[in-house]
Amino acid sequence: MPLFFFCFFPSSLPAFPRYHRYMPSDRAPCPLDEIFLSVWRQALVDRAKQVTIAGQTYPVRCTAKRRLAQIDFASEGADYRGLEQNPETASRWAQLARKGAKVMQFLSGGRYLAVVADGKLTHYSRRSS
């Protein structure tokens, strides 16, 4: 059973409450989380030319300019893209990539959903107005 707690941002940040969700570590992972981890492992760790998800295979392509791994795949009726982190950008994920970490961002419909860095999945929170 998830527990919820309420917190406020300091006055310098937007003045809206935000909910954080605490889940016990023994909870079953979401199927999409498992898919993101599998895509990351196959594309960046194993350096496979194709990624297999639930019996379907998807090609691992490279971006034209930076030659970064990119995988377009579908799951549960939605289209997703896994994109290797460009180490030349200014984000904290790029900083990890520059240090040798294998980092992949996951998007759907132009929105960043999650990132996997060295096997650890982090979800981006969605702000509500």
pLDDT at residue number 31 = 86
Is residue 90 included in any domain, yes or no?
yes
Question: Which residues have a Cβ under 8 Å from the Cβ of 56 and sit 6 or more positions away?
Answer: 73, 74
Q: Which tokens is 115 given? A: 């990132």
Q: Which strand (E) or helix (H) includes residue 40?
A: helix 31-40
Residue 100 has pLDDT above 80, yes or no: yes
Is residue 20 included in any domain, yes or no?
no
Q: Which tokens is 97 given? A: 């990539």
Domain tally, the chain: 1
Q: What is the span of the domain harbouring residue 111?
A: 28-123
Is residue 3 included in any domain, yes or no?
no
Report DSSP state, residue 24: -
Rounded to two decimals, what is the model's pTM? 0.73
Is residue 115 included in any domain, yes or no?
yes
Could you tell me the pLDDT band of residue 127, with boundaries at 50, 70 and 90? low
Strand partners, 74: 79
Q: Which tokens is 71 given? A: 């995988």
With tokens 């992949």, the residue in question is: 104
Is residue 5 included in any domain, yes or no?
no
Q: How far apart are the first and last CA of the chain?
A: 27
pLDDT digits (tens, 9 = 90+) for 24-48: 344 456 789 999 999 999 999 999 9
